[in-house]
Amino acid sequence: MRTKPLHPRFGQIIDNVDLRDVTATHLYPEIRDAFERHSALLFPAQELDDAAHTRLAELFGPLENREAMAGHDADFKVSAVSNETKDGVADAKSLHTLDLQANMLWHTDSTFLPTPALINILTARIVPLSGGETELASTRAAWADMPEDLRAPLQNAIIWHRLSHSRARLSAELAQQPKMTRWPDRPWRAIWPNPVTGEEALYIASHSFAIEGMGGAQAQDLIDSAIAFCTQEEYVYTHDWTPGDVLIWDERAVLHRGRPWNYEEPRTLKSICCSVTEADGLNSVRVLAR
């Protein structure tokens, strides 16, 4: 594979691979190794339809199917991160658009689920004339640099996560929607060591609302300070989308957010998350029932 750095601290660009050709024995081992070591991968100028997108994701692990996790009989579908609906572009003040805007908070996907996500494989189908970028921040690089006064209380912390917590920062009505409240609060250990490299990353999100054994205001201050440190310019990569780009990142070690655009213009990205398995270090962050 031909590679070059995506960012000075993390990530690689791989520009001579057609992801439709990747199989378990052809190119996937090299891609998986790069994923573990660099946390984010960009593959420009791809032509992934939903079927090819799904085949690629299945190499990384179980496809995340939130409806099935919630106990519904639902087949897996590739998620559309989009302001397009069956009736056209969603109104800028609608709950649909507010939910997209909640993704503009720095977050990690699926920290509120029974099994968190390993990876997001995101590809652009329709992009606006300007804006609508996706930003990544390495919590592995930031954790390595974090000052001791901020690092020490997080080292052995257990952080609680709730989806409606992040949505409530934009809209109380959005936070009260059934899809936002159906998941019980979820605890995870704050530090996720990579099982391949041994490097640690801070596991945190805008969904984080409490730290075990710490007062509510103190915990939120620490969470906010940690996210602010991790999302300083020196740890952030901003991706300006071109249709066909495929951006992959490690949910165990990367925060991300979307950026605003003119909501009268359509923007459609397609996303698949895969769930972590024991081989991905799940036991290192799992909090056993007490």
Question: What average pLDDT does this structure show over 167-191?
Answer: 95
The CATH topology of domain 3-285 is: Double-stranded beta-helix (3.60.130)
**Rounded average pLDDT over 63-78:** 93
Mean pLDDT for 140-145 is: 98
Is the pLDDT assigned to residue 128 strictly greater than 70?
yes
Residue 115 half-sphere exposure, CB side, CA atoms within 13 Å?
Answer: 20
45 pLDDT above the threshold of 80? yes
> What is the dihedral sign for C-alpha 212, 217, 223, 225?
negative
The residue among 105, 154, 128, 106 whose CA lies nearest residue 240 is: 128
In which band, very low, low, confident or very high, does the pLDDT at 256 lie, cut at 50, 70 and 90?
very high
- Beta pairing class for 134-138 and 88-89: unpaired
**116: pLDDT strictly greater than 80:** yes
| The pLDDT of residue 105 is above 80 | yes
Q: How far apart are CA 26 and CA 29, in angstroms?
A: 7
Domain residue ranges of the chain, discontinuous segments joined by +: 3-285
Predicted confidence at residue 87, as pLDDT, reads 87
DSSP state, residue 6: S
Confidence of residue 73 (pLDDT cuts 50, 70, 90): confident
Percentage of residues of the chain with pLDDT beyond 90: 97
* Across 147-163, average pLDDT: 97
Percent of the chain with pLDDT over 70: 99
Q: What is the pLDDT of residue 6?
A: 98
Contact 263, 65 (CB under 8 A): no
Is the pLDDT reported for residue 79 higher than 80? yes
- In this prediction, residue 290 carries a pLDDT of 60
Average pLDDT, the chain: 96
Give me the mean pLDDT over the 120-124 stretch: 98
pTM summary value: 0.96
3-state SS assignment for residue 119: strand
User: 237: exposed, middle or buried (C-beta count within 10 Å: 0-12, 13-18, 19+)?
Assistant: buried
DSSP states of 131-183 as a string?
A: B--EEEEEHHHHHHH--HHHHHHHHT-EEEE-HHHHHHTT-HHHHTSHHHHSS
Cα–Cα nearest to 150, from 236, 232, 254: 232
The pLDDT value given to residue 55: 98
Residue 266 tokens, joined: 């359509």
Confidence at residue 29, expressed as pLDDT on a 0 to 100 scale: 98
